[in-house]
Structure 1
């Protein structure tokens, strides 16, 4: 299932990239998402960054079919490989689970602002219910990006 989203930030692309590459920002986003635990690793890679956000999420509120696969908590690992401060790849996996989202992340200058563009292909390899679970996964990704955007807007205004 394809998923695409654009988020606008009132800052230059370099400022948005610096925020996205900052482990403290990612930890603040995880706290706002009320994850059980999070480990963030950021490793400079040329002009870009290799970023891994490894988190344990509570599955309370998920439909029974999803909880049957995920359990009471689930591990989500987000890997972003920014080749430069404008573009990279993103992969979201749940180790041991038949789920994966992979695609691109791009920062686009828009006047004095920046658009963050996320394009993903979401797959859940479970017979008969995979499509329903893909929709649920995209809804969760969308909700997570909404929280990240809210925290990001505040972060760029100095709320750190």
Structure 2
């Protein structure tokens, strides 16, 4: 089984270039991690021939994780989000270090009038018999909340209103 995520997030009054620049901004990514109460985070950006390769690593505690999942992940959840950006599109691979499964998909940016719409399409797959579906639902919910949190921080960041 697998669980799909589809989110359209709006950045009002900006450009695709401005939103794309957030992906490679260490201060922005640190603000997003802080907003999501990550224990720690780091960002590595490597220019490529067609864009940028971005690795965003962040670690969450398990205080909000159901007990059935805590047994699988332990005290911390180390997440590695790899993005390969080419203009207004990124291929995304998200893994939880040392755990079965992955999240794959795309992020696309599109100018719609004065706004930018970011579309996040991911598929969550966890290869654990019996409880894999429950964990996929849990991860899909967490990733949806994370995308919305990044959008909330990004809207304020681009408007010059972000205060941590």
Task: Indicate the TM-score class for this superposition, using the shorter chain for normalisation.
Answer: over 0.9
1:24 shift after superposition = 1.2
For 2:111 and 2:118, locate their aligned partners in 1 and report how far apart those are by CA, in whole Å: 9
Moved over 3 A (4+): none
TM-score when normalising by structure 2: 0.93
For 2:18 and 2:48, locate their aligned partners in 1 and report how far apart those are by CA, in whole Å: 18
Q: 1:98 to 1:107 in 2, by over 3 A?
A: same
Structure 1: where are the runs of 5+ without partners?
A: none
- The alignment partner of 2:138 has SS state of helix
1:20 shift after superposition = 2.2
Matched, 1:38 2:76: no
1:159 shift after superposition = 3.3
Aligned counterpart for 1:111 among listed residues 101, 106, 113: 113
For 1:153 and 1:99, locate their aligned partners in 2 and report how far apart those are by CA, in whole Å: 31
Deviation string for 1:31-58 (max 9, x for gaps)?
A: 1111111111112223521111111111
For 1:28 and 1:79, locate their aligned partners in 2 and report how far apart those are by CA, in whole Å: 18
Matched, 1:54 2:47: no
For 1:86 and 1:146, locate their aligned partners in 2 and report how far apart those are by CA, in whole Å: 19
TM-score when normalising by structure 1: 0.95
Structure 2: where are the runs of 5+ without partners?
A: none
Structure 1 equivalent of residue 126 of structure 2: 124
User: Cα RMSD (Å) of the superposition?
Assistant: 1.1
Structure 2 equivalent of residue 63 of structure 1: 66
State how 1:53-92 maps to structure 2 within 5 Å: 53-83=56-86, 85-92=87-94
